[in-house]
């Protein structure tokens, strides 16, 4: 390969060989840093060595790429070399042994006719890796008790698989079983009611009634009444109506779902409950009659309440009791749903409501004449939190749990309290009082009850005395079983006092308990507990181990785990302060699982998330697997964890990043000083807040850990606060209890500085530890941008980093395949009122007139045998709103010339639709046509060669050869050679190998795609080219034979054929190559390339792969003397994303001797250009060339409101022997004839380009910056009385030219003046106001991207000048955007100017964050008055939706009028046809509403 022209230089960087692939190589035998006291422990004696990797440095930036290419050539997954394969296979097989062990879920016990017998049902789960889900089973048992207190379980011979079942709910008596089968699409939900031997009823519930039932641990509430005739449950409310359109516009009357000529819009966007609930609607309450199958919604519950945990009350007019969470739980009670998963601090209350099947006589009286509905009674008005309600068996008490401490403090979890309500026998619910049962424990005495930490309660938790509840809770680092007497308020520990194992209650058998017990690496075992009476002593509980049919671990695993040591260590705190509460001075705990020779073994420090959760001593297959690899485990429950009293927990908020970090290091020092571990062999792993600690530790204690792994880690709070579903968490954990009061959707810059200073990223410069990142792409809690920013910064620094992204996973990474691979790798029309409806219908019909107009995408002209005749072919597209895509057509015309003046175009009668066609490329002579049909979803790509009469050849190219061809405007390169025998093109590289697993573990030899017994992992994550390219493979050459010798670090495009050498023996291809190491400091980061001309690229040549003897005699080209190309060198040098281009040429050597220096000559330089304008100089219309016809030019001309017209230009000699260009309008043009209605609406508009002087030019400005700028003004007939829209383009280094825009024409047709392409916005506005052209009191503004940045700046900096605004994917906060966008360099360029390149980093400094914030619209949001319409693309990578949402929520928080529309599948441009249509329709309605345009104004 020969480099022909280059505009970049490579800077050598140091990279390390990837060594963090599997658990056994997590610890590296690298020399520990001598600066750390923990690392200065004595070197281990020779012997067992479980780690296999060793760090090695490579001094070139391409080392990583070369290693990856070498692995790829051998068919290995990315990131894996040959030395890892056997280890990977061995460990994956072992890990599957742990994965196969079943888990015990729920259990139910029912009484039988005999007093000493009962029946049990146990729910069992087992991971199915191949299907990537969990299978569930039911196992039955007969329980027999004898007089000696012994018990016998007779298990059924086989379990029953519950395939397709979402939930199983036995009736209270056990005589009926309800199965829930939630649908995965729009099909009905099924409820099956089973009797002892048959299916008694099957109820199908359509989506129009309600959606899926909630079966999660939070909103779930499926409850039988005592008579077992009705079931109450929580399900998704039926879909809200969406605006509907057809070919006539907006449909006011609605339509049948079967109407195939209409499509539904998105309507207003609604908040969700965040993580795991992002695709759920509002949970609502329903009751079904199991005999008739009738379903009734419970009336009278406001939509602002999300309901859950419903139960039946004793006889009462309000027979249903449920929990409800208000959606107005944002700052100052604004309508914001903050994330609720794992968040006990969301205010909730108990409510009561009548059963919808209740007889009318029993219902509470209503005043129907006043429009009253069934009353919903709030039972816990004086309490901020109430959940898990349970009635006592006699119906006297309603007992429930409260997290009021979490709500008061703002922490996401805290010490619970238990309360009760004396339930009135007469059912009258007035004047109910709440009494305490178990108060909050602040500082537990040594060994005493630390408080209640309850994550769930049995459906029937009562012993037979009707007063004692049995439940599970946290006690230090253990789960324990407690008994609570709700009358005497006595709390007792039921599980063994001397056991460090965790115990959990499964079910009650009258006064006996079925429970499960386990340790971190000991699989769960079922126990049966009975109270043992002892004379003169308090009763004790005896526990009998139950033999079960559950499989024990394999002999191999049992042998590995047999000799482990397990203990819970009490760790005294270091540096106790007098300011600490007494509870915060108590020792915290760490669970230590060790080998006999632990002092010579490596150790993994394991850290939980939250931070207000706990890592209990119960079984974890992941930790058992890590232990089996030879590691000691140190699981640290630092202060702030659950189970140690409220004072210890509340000591952490305000001190994260310091107190918790010190606690971990204190625990580590504790085991080192006791000689339990080797200080030089320590790794650390954590998820979420545990990942926060992991990345803090490798920065604050850089010599301590030799390897680290972080799952969805919090690395930068200043970035997270604007992207997470729990922004208030950042405030509370940084500021403590005060953070709850200062929480805001738009944090101040001082807040952002605090967040940054307390984040791991502030210590990243000290990190040297190899780190593995495991990230869920669908994570809403800690979005993937947090981990990626930190990981990319480490790569920028040259620190060994490995990234695995799981595309479909959320925060927990709990999909079975993802969990398996991650631990394997560790060890390596809402808002529309009736008035708006009419406007909506009118405008939608008008907008369709503009949308239906076709557009010309390209044209080709081919010569014929007749000199005065040629043939033109046009590529035309037309929006198809119903199908939500664009139709493509081909239209032909014959061009006939008669002398120099007469011109005639003969058009074909009809265009030809190109269904399923991605691109058409005629051959140079026009005798052949290449038709490209890109395959979808793995199907082959088809290339069709068509001649004048038929398909000459059809070529099917499998995905294993390459993926779809690139047909975009950037990488696109489809090129015929002159002989029309070969075609070069750019296509997606064939997929990289992924690790393949089956039931024996990792498959070293690979597998057939048709093998149904294996599944593919994710392998290492690869960077992509950002916006529009996020799902595309690397662009590479495709000719069915792939061009060889091109490095994988090059993305190629724009290929052309070079002329043959003078001897005619060789064929070469010339192409553009973009180096993928274009991140900051030339790190392997692909920055976004869409619209980014500043990405360094060069011209390259390579030999045609079809170069054979049969083409030796190919004729030389007619000329081939010059290679001409454009350069964006100015953009590359300055860092701006677009700049003035230059044109260059290379004198091409006819002998193709490339060893000589090829001189590049300027054709049109940047400063002084020599070019001739051939379009009319007196025309303000825009002109664009379509193609060349000999010495003539085929072009189109248009204005913002005048559709394109085809023009044909030719040169005419004048009398003075000079030449000029004459342009003829093409006759009978069938393309752009606007209908009469549109013509009438636009007939009174005028169009001009204004020259606007710069006001008060500074001496610091260059001469060019002092020149007048321009604005396009489209005005109505009586413009000074009409409202005006300021239209701002994005970029900012782009332009809105005076060419046709259907959206501009649409807005003009509504009666608006348009001021387009404004550079100095307020100066331009003053210019037209002072000129009397517009009314200053009727001004709106709209912009996209940087235009949205200007829009939101203007309504903040000039709040009284704009009545209304609309922004599409706007840049609102640069300090947030920098960590989430695909173009972080842009933030530096626009904020810092040309100096930005010198300071650019993946991890901006606090000074840069301050600058970004100060230059952002959000800095001025407190002054905004204008109503704002926010239009956002859910898949935008350029300006991710977090930017617009943060700004919109902040406006709403301040009481501003804001409307949000979300288009889930759209990227930055919002250009999917239906989305584009609906967005501008709503812009028109929004502006007319706030600018008060009457119908007569518009028509005038």
Task: Report the C-alpha gap between 78 and 1022 in whole angstroms.
Answer: 9
Task: Report the C-alpha gap between 473 and 479 in whole angstroms.
Answer: 6
Kindly state the average pLDDT of the residues 429-453. Answer: 92
Which uninterrupted H or E stretch holds 1446?
helix 1441-1453
Q: Output 60-63 pairs: Cβ under 8 A, ≥24 positions apart.
A: 60/12, 60/13, 60/15, 61/10, 61/11, 61/12, 61/13, 61/15, 61/1077, 61/1082, 61/1084, 62/1047, 62/1049, 62/1077, 63/15, 63/17
Task: Report the C-alpha gap between 604 and 683 in whole angstroms.
Answer: 5
Number of Cβ within 10 Å of residue 303's Cβ equals 11
- Is the whole model's pTM more than 0.95, yes or no? no
Note the residue count of the chain: 1500
pLDDT at 1119: 64
Q: Going by DSSP bridges, is the β-strand pair 1068-1075/1050-1057 parallel, antiparallel, or unpaired?
A: antiparallel
pLDDT at 228: 92
Identify the residue with better confidence: 340 or 415. 415
Task: Report the C-alpha gap between 1383 and 1024 in whole angstroms.
Answer: 12
Summarize pLDDT for 1353-1362 with one digit per residue, the tens: 999 999 999 9
pLDDT at 1152: 66
Token pair recorded at residue 257: 């779902």
Please provide residue 116's backbone torsions phi and psi, each rounded to the nearest 5 degrees: -95, 15
pLDDT at 1011: 65
In terms of Cα–Cα distance, which of 1212, 1389, 1197, 1194 is closest to 1297? 1197
Using a pLDDT cut of 70, give the percent of the chain over it.
85
pLDDT at 657: 95
Task: Report the C-alpha gap between 780 and 286 in whole angstroms.
Answer: 29
CA-CA-CA-CA torsion sign (455, 456, 457, 458): negative
**DSSP labels for 1246-1287?**
EEEEEEEPPSS--TTS-GGGGS-EEEEEEE-TTGGGS-EEEE
Token pair recorded at residue 250: 């907006």
CA-CA-CA-CA torsion sign (1292, 1294, 1296, 1298): positive
Q: At what angle do helices 1302-1309 and 1473-1491 cross, to 10 degrees?
A: 30
Radius of gyration over every alpha carbon of the chain, rounded to an integer in angstroms: 36
C-alpha triplet 116, 119, 121: angle, nearest 5°: 150
Kindly state the average pLDDT of the residues 467-491. Answer: 95
Which uninterrupted H or E stretch holds 182?
none
Q: Would you say residue 30 has pLDDT above 50?
A: no
Task: Report the C-alpha gap between 346 and 326 in whole angstroms.
Answer: 9
Kindly state the average pLDDT of the residues 101-115. Answer: 82
Q: At what angle do helices 1346-1357 and 1321-1330 cross, to 10 degrees?
A: 60
Instruction: Name residue, tokens 């015309």.
Output: 893
Identify the DSSP state of 252: S
Q: Which of the four pLDDT bands, split at 50, 70 and 90, describes residue 45?
A: very low
Identify the DSSP state of 1202: S
Which uninterrupted H or E stretch holds 1341?
strand 1339-1344
**Report for 824-838, 860-874, 1323-1337: range of highest mean pLDDT:** 1323-1337
Token pair recorded at residue 1019: 């392998």
Instruction: Please name the residues in contact with 1430: beta carbons below 8 A apart, sequence gap of 6 or more.
Output: 1366, 1367, 1370, 1444, 1445, 1447, 1448, 1458, 1459, 1460, 1461
Q: Is 1064 exposed, middle or buried (0-12, 13-18, 19+ CB in 10 A)?
A: middle
Summarize pLDDT for 519-546 with one digit per residue, the tens: 998 988 989 888 887 766 677 899 988 8
Q: Which of the four pLDDT bands, split at 50, 70 and 90, describes residue 1231?
A: low
Kindly state the average pLDDT of the residues 822-843. Answer: 61
pLDDT at 829: 40
Instruction: Name residue, tokens 């086989």.
Output: 158
Number of Cβ within 10 Å of residue 672's Cβ equals 20
The catalytic residue positions are 688, 779, 811
pLDDT at 90: 73
Token pair recorded at residue 1394: 């040309």
pLDDT at 1372: 95
Q: Which of the four pLDDT bands, split at 50, 70 and 90, describes residue 472?
A: very high
Q: Would you say residue 1431 has pLDDT above 90?
A: yes
Task: Report the C-alpha gap between 584 and 760 in whole angstroms.
Answer: 24
Number of Cβ within 10 Å of residue 879's Cβ equals 22
**DSSP labels for 373-406?**
----EES-TT-S--EEEEE-TTSSEEEEEE-HHH
Kindly give the residue spans of alpha helices, DSSP state H, lying in 1204-1344: 1236-1242, 1302-1309, 1321-1330
CA distances from 601 to 44, 193, 519, 593, 1413 (A): 8, 55, 21, 12, 48
Q: Going by DSSP bridges, is the β-strand pair 929-933/919-922 parallel, antiparallel, or unpaired?
A: antiparallel
Q: Which of the four pLDDT bands, split at 50, 70 and 90, describes residue 828?
A: low
Task: Report the C-alpha gap between 1135 and 34 in whole angstroms.
Answer: 42
Q: Would you say residue 33 has pLDDT above 60?
A: no
pLDDT at 1210: 87
In terms of Cα–Cα distance, which of 924, 507, 598, 721 is closest to 1413? 721
Strand partners, 505: 515
Q: Which of the four pLDDT bands, split at 50, 70 and 90, describes residue 834?
A: low
Identify the residue with better confidence: 1019 or 225. 225
What is Dmax (Cα atoms) for the chain?
130
Q: Confirm if 839 and 1488 have CB atoms less than 8 A apart.
A: yes
Identify the residue with better confidence: 888 or 851. 888
Task: Report the C-alpha gap between 192 and 183 in whole angstroms.
Answer: 13
Instruction: Name residue, tokens 């350029």.
Output: 1438
Task: Report the C-alpha gap between 1136 and 1293 in whole angstroms.
Answer: 7
Task: Report the C-alpha gap between 225 and 428 in whole angstroms.
Answer: 20
Instruction: Name residue, tokens 């079904």.
Output: 288
* 137-141, 264-268, 727-731, 1227-1231, range with the lowest pLDDT: 1227-1231
In terms of Cα–Cα distance, which of 811, 767, 768, 821 is closest to 786? 811
Kindly state the average pLDDT of the residues 282-293. Answer: 93
Q: Would you say residue 1078 has pLDDT above 50?
A: yes
Q: Would you say residue 952 has pLDDT above 60?
A: yes
Q: Confirm if 4 and 1098 have CB atoms less than 8 A apart.
A: yes
What is the average pLDDT value for the chain, to the nearest integer? 82
pLDDT at 297: 93
Task: Report the C-alpha gap between 1128 and 382 in whole angstroms.
Answer: 67
Report the Cα 1054 to chain-centroid distance in Å. Answer: 32
Using a pLDDT cut of 90, give the percent of the chain over it.
35
Identify the residue with better confidence: 86 or 1343. 1343
Task: Report the C-alpha gap between 29 and 50 in whole angstroms.
Answer: 10
**Report for 21-25, 830-834, 1349-1353: range of highest mean pLDDT:** 1349-1353
pLDDT at 1041: 66
CA-CA-CA-CA torsion sign (947, 948, 951, 952): negative
Identify the DSSP state of 731: H
In terms of Cα–Cα distance, which of 1485, 77, 23 is closest to 829? 1485
Q: Confirm if 895 and 870 have CB atoms less than 8 A apart.
A: yes
In terms of Cα–Cα distance, which of 1077, 1096, 1076 is closest to 1033? 1076
Strand partners, 1326: none
Identify the residue with better confidence: 651 or 15. 651
Summarize pLDDT for 347-393 with one digit per residue, the tens: 999 999 998 988 654 555 544 344 444 578 999 998 999 999 999 99
pLDDT at 372: 44
Kindly state the average pLDDT of the residues 1165-1191. Answer: 83
């Amino acid at each position: 390969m020969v480099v022909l022209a280059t505009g970049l230089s490579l800077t050598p960087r140091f990279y390390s060989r990837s060594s963090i692939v599997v658990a056994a190589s997590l610890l590296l035998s690298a020399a520990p840093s001598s600066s750390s006291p923990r690392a200065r422990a004595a070197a281990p004696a020779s012997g067992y060595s479980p780690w296999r990797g060793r760090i090695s440095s490579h001094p070139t930036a391409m080392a990583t790429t070369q290693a990856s290419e070498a692995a790829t050539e051998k068919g290995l997954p990315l990131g894996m070399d040959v030395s890892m394969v056997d280890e990977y296979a061995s460990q994956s097989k072992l890990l599957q042994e742990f994965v196969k062990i079943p888990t015990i879920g729920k259990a139910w016990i029912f009484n039988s006719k005999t007093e000493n017998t009962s029946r049990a049902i146990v729910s069992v789960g087992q991971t199915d890796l191949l299907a990537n889900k969990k299978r569930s089973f039911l196992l039955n048992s007969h329980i027999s008790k004898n007089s000696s207190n012994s018990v016998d379980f007779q298990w059924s011979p086989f379990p029953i698989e519950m395939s397709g079942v979402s939930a199983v709910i036995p009736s209270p008596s056990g005589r009926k079983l309800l199965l829930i089968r939630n649908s995965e699409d729009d099909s009905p939900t099924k409820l099956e009611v089973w009797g002892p031997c048959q299916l008694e009823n099957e109820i199908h519930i359509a989506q129009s009634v309600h959606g899926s039932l909630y079966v999660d641990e939070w909103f779930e509430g499926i409850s039988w009444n005592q008579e077992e005739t009705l079931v109450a449950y929580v399900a998704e409310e039926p879909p809200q109506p969406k605006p509907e359109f057809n070919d006539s516009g907006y449909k006011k009357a609605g339509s049948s779902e079967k109407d195939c000529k209409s499509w539904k819009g998105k309507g207003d966007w609604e908040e969700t409950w965040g993580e795991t609930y992002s695709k759920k609607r509002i949970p609502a309450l329903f009751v079904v009659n199991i005999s008739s199958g009738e379903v009734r919604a419970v009336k009278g519950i406001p939509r602002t309440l999300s309901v859950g945990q419903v139960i039946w009350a004793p006889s009462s007019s309000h027979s249903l009791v449920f929990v409800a969470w208000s959606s107005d739980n944002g700052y100052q009670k604004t309508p914001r749903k903050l994330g609720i998963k794992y968040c006990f601090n969301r205010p909730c209350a108990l409510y009561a409501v009548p059963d919808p099947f209740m007889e009318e006589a029993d219902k509470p009286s209503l005043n129907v004449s006043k429009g009253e509905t069934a009353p919903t009674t709030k039972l816990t008005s004086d309490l901020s939190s109430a959940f898990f309600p349970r009635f006592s068996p006699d119906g006297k008490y309603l007992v429930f749990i409260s997290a009021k401490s979490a709500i008061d403090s703002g922490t996401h979890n805290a010490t619970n309290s238990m309360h009760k309500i004396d339930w009135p026998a007469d059912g009258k619910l007035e004047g109910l009082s709440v009494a305490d049962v178990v108060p909050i424990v602040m500082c537990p005495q040594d060994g005493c009850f630390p408080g209640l930490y309850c994550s769930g309660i049995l459906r029937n938790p009562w012993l037979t005395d009707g007063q004692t509840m049995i439940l599970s809770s946290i006690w230090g680092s253990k789960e324990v079983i407690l008994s609570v007497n709700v009358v005497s308020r006595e709390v007792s520990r039921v599980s063994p006092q001397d056991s460090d194992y965790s115990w959990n209650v499964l079910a009650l058998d009258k006064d006996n308990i079925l429970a499960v017990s386990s340790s971190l690496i000991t699989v769960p075992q079922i126990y049966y507990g009975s109270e043992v009476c002892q004379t003169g002593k308090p009763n004790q509980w005896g526990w009998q181990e139950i033999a079960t049919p559950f499989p024990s671990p394999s002999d191999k695993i049992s042998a590995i785990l047999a000799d482990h040591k397990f203990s819970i260590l009490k760790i005294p705190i270091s540096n106790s302060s007098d300011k600490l509460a007494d509870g915060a001075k108590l020792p915290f705990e760490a669970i230590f699982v060790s080998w006999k020779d632990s002092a010579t073994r490596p150790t993994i420090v394991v850290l939980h998330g939250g931070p207000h959760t706990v890592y209990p001593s119960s079984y974890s297959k992941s930790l058992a697997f890590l232990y089996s690899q030879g590691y000691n485990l140190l699981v640290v429950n630092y202060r702030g964890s659950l189970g140690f009293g409220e004072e210890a927990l509340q000591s952490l908020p305000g001190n994260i990043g310091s107190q918790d970090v010190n606690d971990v290091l204190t625990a580590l020092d504790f085991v080192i000083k006791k000689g339990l571990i080797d200080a030089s062999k320590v790794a650390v792993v954590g998820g979420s807040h545990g990942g926060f600690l992991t990345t803090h530790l490798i920065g604050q204690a850089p010599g301590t850990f030799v390897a680290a792994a972080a799952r969805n880690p919090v690395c930068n709070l200043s970035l997270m606060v604007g992207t997470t579903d729990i922004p208030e968490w950042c405030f509370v954990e940084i500021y403590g209890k005060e953070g709850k009061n200062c929480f805001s959707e738009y944090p101040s810059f001082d807040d952002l500085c605090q967040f940054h200073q307390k984040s791991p990223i502030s210590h990243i410069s000290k990190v040297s530890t190899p780190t593995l990142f495991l990230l869920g792409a669908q994570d809403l809690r800690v979005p993937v941008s947090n981990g990626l920013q930190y990981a990319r910064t480490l790569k920028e620094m040259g620190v060994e980093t490995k990234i695995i992204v799981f595309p479909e996973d959320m925060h927990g990474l709990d999909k079975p395949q993802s969990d398996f691979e991650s631990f394997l790798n560790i060890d390596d029309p809402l808002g529309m009122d009736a008035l708006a409806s009419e406007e909506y219908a009118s405008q939608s019909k008008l907008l369709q007139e503009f949308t239906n107009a076709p557009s010309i995408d390209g044209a080709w002209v081919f010569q014929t045998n007749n000199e005065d005749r040629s043939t033109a072919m046009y590529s035309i597209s037309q929006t198809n709103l119903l199908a939500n895509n664009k139709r493509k057509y081909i239209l032909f015309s014959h061009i006939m010339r008669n002398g120099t003046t007469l011109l005639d175009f003969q058009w074909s009668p009809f265009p030809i639709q190109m269904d399923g066609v991605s691109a058409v490329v005629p051959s140079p002579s026009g005798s052949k046509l290449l038709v490209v049909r890109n395959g979808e979803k793995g199907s082959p790509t088809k290339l069709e060669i068509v001649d004048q009469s038929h398909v000459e050849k059809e070529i099917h190219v499998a995905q294993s050869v390459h993926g779809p061809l690139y047909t975009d405007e950037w990488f696109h390169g489809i090129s015929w050679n002159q002989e029309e025998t070969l075609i070069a093109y750019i296509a997606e590289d064939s997929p990289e190998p992924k690790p393949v697993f089956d039931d024996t573990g990792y498959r070293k030899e690979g597998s057939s795609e048709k093998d149904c017994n294996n599944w593919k992992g994710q392998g290492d994550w690869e960077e992509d080219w950002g916006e529009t390219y996020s799902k595309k493979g690397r662009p590479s050459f495709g000719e069915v034979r792939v061009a060889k010798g091109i490095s994988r670090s090059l993305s190629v495009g724009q290929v052309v054929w070079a002329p043959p050498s003078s001897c005619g023996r060789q064929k070469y291809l010339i192409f553009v190559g973009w180096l993928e190491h274009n991140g900051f400091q030339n790190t392997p980061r692909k920055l976004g390339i869409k619209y980014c001309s500043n990405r360094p690229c060069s011209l390259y040549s390579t030999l045609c792969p079809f170069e054979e003897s049969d083409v030796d005699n190919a004729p030389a080209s007619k000329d081939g003397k010059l290679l001409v190309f454009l350069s964006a060198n100015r953009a590359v040098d300055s860092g701006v994303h677009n700049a003035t281009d230059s044109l260059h040429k290379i004198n091409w050597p006819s002998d193709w001797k490339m060893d000589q220096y090829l001189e590049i000559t300027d054709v049109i330089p940047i400063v002084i250009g020599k070019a001739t304008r051939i379009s009319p100089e007196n025309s303000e219309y825009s002109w664009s060339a379509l193609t060349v016809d000999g010495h003539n030019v085929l072009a189109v001309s248009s204005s913002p409101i005048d559709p394109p017209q085809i023009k044909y230009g030719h040169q005419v000699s004048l009398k003075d022997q000079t030449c000029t260009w004459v342009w003829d309008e093409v006759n009978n043009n069938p393309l752009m004839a606007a209908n009469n209605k549109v013509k009438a609406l636009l007939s009174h508009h005028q169009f001009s380009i204004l020259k606007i002087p710069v006001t008060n030019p500074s001496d610091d400005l260059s001469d060019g910056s002092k020149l007048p700028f321009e604005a396009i003004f489209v005005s109505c007939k009586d413009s000074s009385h009409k409202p005006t829209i300021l239209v701002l383009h994005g970029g900012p280094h782009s332009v809105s030219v005076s060419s046709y825009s259907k959206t501009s024409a649409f807005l003009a047709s509504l009666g608006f003046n348009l001021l387009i392409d404004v550079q100095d916005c307020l100066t331009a506005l003053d210019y037209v106001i002072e000129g009397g052209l517009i009314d200053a009191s009727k001004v709106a503004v709209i912009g996209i991207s940087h235009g949205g940045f200007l829009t939101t700046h203007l309504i903040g900096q000039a709040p009284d000048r704009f009545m209304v605004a609309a922004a599409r994917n706007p840049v609102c906060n640069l300090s947030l955007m920098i960590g989430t966008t695909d173009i972080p360099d842009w933030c530096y360029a626009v904020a810092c100017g040309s100096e930005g390149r010198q300071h650019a980093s993946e991890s901006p400094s606090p000074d840069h964050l301050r600058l970004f914030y100060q230059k952002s619209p959000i800095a001025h949001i407190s002054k905004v008055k204008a109503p704002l319409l926010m239009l956002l693309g859910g898949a935008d990578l350029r300006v991710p939706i977090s930017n617009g949402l943060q700004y919109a929520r902040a406006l709403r928080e301040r009481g501003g009028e804001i409307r949000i529309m979300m288009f889930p599948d759209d990227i930055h441009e919002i250009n999917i046809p239906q989305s584009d249509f609906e967005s501008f329709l709503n812009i028109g309605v929004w502006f007319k509403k706030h600018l008060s345009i009457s119908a007569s104004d518009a028509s005038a």
